[in-house]
Amino acid sequence: MLGEMSSLLLGSLKIAPAVAVGAGYQFRHPRLEDALSATVR
């Protein structure tokens, strides 16, 4: 789906949404790869 550029998106920086997590928010898909996989199913 993303082609050659997918490594930039999937293999780049790990960014933690500290404010949301600190406020108690729980992500359905904590990893971007899992979230993207869920969208194409």
Query: What is the pLDDT, as a whole number, of residue 16?
Result: 72
Query: What is the pLDDT, as a whole number, of residue 11?
Result: 67
| Residue stretches of the chain with pLDDT short of 50 | none
Q: In which element (H, E) is residue 40 found?
A: none
Query: What is the pLDDT, as a whole number, of residue 1?
Result: 60
Query: What is the pLDDT, as a whole number, of residue 19?
Result: 84
- Alpha-carbon distance of 18 to 9, in angstroms, equals 20
Structure tokens given for 7: 């490594």
* Inter-residue contact 36 to 14 (CB < 8 Å): no
Query: What is the pLDDT, as a whole number, of residue 3?
Result: 73
Helix then strand then coil, % of the chain, to nearest 5:
50, 0, 50
Domain count along the chain? 1
* Average pLDDT value for the chain: 80
Query: What is the pLDDT, as a whole number, of residue 25?
Result: 92
Domain that holds residue 7: 3-39
